[in-house]
A = this chain, B = another copy of it.
Amino acid sequence: MSKILIRAMVLPMTGADAFFPQGEICIEDDKIVSVGVLGSAPAGFEPERILELPTDVVMPGLINTHTHAAMTLLRGYADDLPLMPWLNEKIWPFEDKLTDEDIYWGTSLALCEMIRSGTTTMLDMYASMDQVASAVLLAGTRAVLSRGLIGNGPNGERALQENIELVRRYHGTGDGRLSIMFGPHAPYTCSADYLKKVKVEADRLKVGVHIHVAETQDEINIVREQYGKTPVQWLDDLGLFSGHVVAAHCVHLTTQDIEILAHQNVCVAHNAESNMKLSSGTAPITELRAKGVVVGLGTDGASSNNNLDLFGEMRSAAFQQKLRVNSTVLPAYEVLEMATVGGAQTLGLEDVGVLAPGFKADLITIDMDQPHFYPRFSIPAHLVYAAHAGDVRTVMVDGKFLMEDRRLLTMDVGKVCQETETRAKRIAMELNVK
């Protein structure tokens, strides 16, 4: 039995008015026992450890609802190119060279960066997902993993088998820190038959589906030419949306698409920065939320961002909607909701995303005693509009500290950086690029 008491400003994300300027939170093993003002700990709660952080805000850990973690290996390898040459000449040839071990180390680099920037949970889509699972189990974070399935590719069938095996081996492991979804890549890379097969397996194994949808105008054109429908219409007609689905991107949507997503309770993973950097467009997040669609935030992979910092992503998500609609949409607290409780809902995780009794102790603290957080008029505004990744001081997942005073406790950062540097440079050299 481990009992921990944290005294800090508490932003539990249970409602826009819920804030304890002098608060405390009690944790027993992996769970939150109480959240409230100073002195609100239950009678008889005798902590083994008390963290006194009066100038920190403690809040739920951030949730990254769409990423390809191992792609940190490609950070800075190719930028500022047109989409197709970028993919054909740079990204795909590099990815073809990745070994299982490369993916393990690339994911570990992503996890180092995520923990340091306050992300406690990710939804990942990639290959060699057993390597990803190993990295997550060791790092101590929470994750939902999906095998990327290119149905139209030569390995479509094998990949589907790998995803099935992934569910069998990892779903619910790590004391429940790991769960699994199926990861059909996109409407234009999977046939109707393939998607139906994926859906049968997902239903049989009672897990969700994670898929890229309506990311670019090209995708809209391809799907319309092939099926005479929008990607959302087509996937809906296939029956893909009947269960738990995370649709990543959703940039190019019709009014009817938005109705379908809302009606089918499809959750959207919004990737503001990737959508800007690749010039994909601006997702209609304001309209989606107005229709009641659950939206989480994602960074996408580090080759199109190029970091995994959800503080930057919150800021960009707010700014992008304000630019498109007006200055009042997506106010700060709503953006924080998308990054926490909205992320949890998106991923189908019912016991994280807020700080409340009975929830998992996934939390972070942010050092507010810095010039860019003064004066202290609004903690939500400061977190969304002024904070950066380096402001995170403490990270806890499942009741265990992963970072204290910015020092990572579960990972050897030097080793991870060195391994990824060597491995990425090796691949670049093989591809004859200096």
Contact = CB atoms under 8 A, between A and B. Distances in A.
A371 B109 contact: yes
Given A72-B374, A385-B306, A389-B388, A277 B369 contact: no
A358 to B, nearest CB: 32
A273 B306 CA distance: 18
Contact of A375 (B80, B307, B325, B424): B424
Given A319-B316, A327-B83, A371 B112 contact: yes
A376 interface: yes
Interface in A300-316: 302, 305-309, 312, 315-316
Contacts of A86: 327
Interface residues of A, number: 72
Contact of A377 (B275, B325, B326, B428): B428
A320 B423 CA distance: 33
Interface stretch (A229-237, A342-350, A414-422): A414-422
A328 B163 CA distance: 36
Interface of A is mostly: helix
B75 A377 contact: yes
A114 B389 CA distance: 17
Contacts of A312: 312, 315, 388
A113 B323 contact: no
Contacts of A302: 386
A306 B72 CA distance: 29
A390 interface: yes
18 contacts: A73-B375, A75-B381, A77-B375, A79-B331, A79-B385, A80-B328, A80-B331, A86-B327, A113-B372, A273-B319, A276-B323, A279-B327, A306-B382, A309-B388, A316-B316, A370-B417, A377-B424, A388-B388
Given A75-B374, A75-B382, A82-B326, 9 more contacts: A79-B332, A80-B327, A109-B374, A277-B327, A278-B322, A307-B386, A388-B388, A388-B389, A390-B391
Interface of A: 72-73, 75-77, 79-83, 86, 109, 112-113, 116-117, 273, 275-279, 281-282, 302, 305-309, 312, 315-316, 318-320, 322-323, 325-332, 369-372, 374-378, 381-382, 385-386, 388-391, 413, 416-417, 420-421, 423-425, 428
